[in-house]
Structure 1
Amino acid sequence: MTTPFLPSTSRGNDVLRAALPGLLFAIVTLLFGYTMGVVFGLNEDLIKSRIAASADAVGATVYHGDSVAAKAVLSKSWTYMQRAHLHAGGLGSAAIGVTLLVVMLGVSAMWTRFISLGLGVGAFGYAVFWLWAGFRAPALGGTDAAKESLAWLAIPSSGAVVMATLAAAVLVVLTLLRRREM
């Protein structure tokens, strides 16, 4: 298989193949974001009713009858869901772009797979985190509680994106320095 970005060598094919699992996660992240956009557009009132019902269910125990506090959490929950949609689009696109850059650099298949998976899986996990936090917050009494309950997902997924991006940046610098020495 030849592409405009890679030489038609088996090594080039191996590097591209190494990137495919991460690219798949990045594409799934984009589709997740697109799906949220469609669902939000078609069912905004239904979604808001569902999170309001979860806040109402704990109104006496969690909010102690404070409807103003519950309303603030509901507003912030909807913002978190929108944030999930935006993160999915931005991080999914960035994951694809940075992965393809790493493929074009021609680094080893191992580094390509590591970076690609960090970007793709991390992007998906982080988008899921924001959506899930938005759904959990009303029943927990606040967005801080929701974020804390999902730290096990947010920290590794955002860390994976940052570390993979940093690794790609280092590879770009090393490639730039190596080219200058020639």
Structure 2
Amino acid sequence: MTSTTIHSRLQEVKFGLILSLLTILFGFGMGGVFGAMEDDIKGHLKAEGQAALETVYKGDEAKMKATVSKSWSYFKRAHLHGGGIGAATLGVIIVLAFTYASSIFKLVVSIALGAGGLGYSIFWMMAGLRAPGMGSTGIAKESLSWLAIPSSGMLLLGLITATIVVAISLFSSKEKA
């Protein structure tokens, strides 16, 4: 296979590849921000919780502290999801590029994988940001269902579709030039 052929195959999935790389960048970038500003982030989350202590938490400081703590966990989850899901979707998209599926099909599936991974990673960060002021991580997640459901759905459907297409391509006797 020539470098021109490899390039043309990757061109078919370029938008998904870029989205996957952005997802990895998001995850790694969050790690860098944690290293530089962890105390500031935790301080911001605590201040948001403190501001809502009387109105949202009804003075229950233990509940506020628990929500703030879980919010920080959501930040870490966003960081880990970005790196992990980004790398996984990048690999799946590269394999998908070399299947017998049509160019448009590969483009759509790659975008679903890339956008799904990025959206889902961002969802966790946003939930972590919202929760202290809302009084609950559950409420924060629910308020972001508009992002979580479509992005996780795209991710899952993209992976299922890619798995089927890769399996068909691997077990098919058809050869692509």
What TM-score comes out, normalization by structure 2 length?
A: 0.93
Quote the Cα distance in structure 2 between the aligned partners of 1:75 and 1:22: 34
Runs of 4+, deviation exceeding 6 Å: none
Match in the other structure for 1:35: 29
Q: Secondary structure at the match of 2:63?
A: helix
Asked whether 1:152 is paired with 2:146, we answer: yes
| Same amino acid, percent of matched pairs | 43
Quote the Cα distance in structure 2 between the aligned partners of 1:172 and 1:20: 18
Match in the other structure for 2:99: 105
State the one-letter code of the partner of 1:43: M
Alignment of 1:1-182 (within 5 A): 2-3=2-3, 7=5, 13=8, 15-179=9-173
Deviations along 1:9-68, one digit per CA (max 9) or x if unpaired, are xxx71x421200111111111111111001011111100000111111111011011100
State the one-letter code of the partner of 2:93: T
State the one-letter code of the partner of 1:46: D
Q: CA deviation at 1:173?
A: 2.2
Q: CA deviation at 1:175?
A: 1.8
Deviations along 1:113-165, one digit per CA (max 9) or x if unpaired, are 01110111111100000000000000000100000000000000011010000
Q: CA deviation at 1:111?
A: 1.3
Contact 2:100 2:169 in 1 (8 A): no
- Runs of 5+ consecutive residues of structure 2 not aligned to the other structure: none
Q: CA deviation at 1:177?
A: 3.2
Q: CA deviation at 1:7?
A: 3.6
Contact 2:127 2:137 in 1 (8 A): yes
State the one-letter code of the partner of 2:121: A
Q: Could you say what the CA RMSD is over the residues aligned between the two structures, in angstroms?
A: 1.7
Q: Secondary structure at the match of 2:98?
A: helix
Q: Secondary structure at the match of 1:179?
A: coil
Q: Secondary structure at the match of 2:173?
A: helix
Quote the Cα distance in structure 2 between the aligned partners of 1:106 and 1:177: 11
- Runs of 5+ consecutive residues of structure 1 not aligned to the other structure: none
Quote the Cα distance in structure 1 between the aligned partners of 2:99 and 2:162: 10
Quote the Cα distance in structure 2 between the aligned partners of 1:174 and 1:43: 47
Contact 2:123 2:144 in 1 (8 A): yes
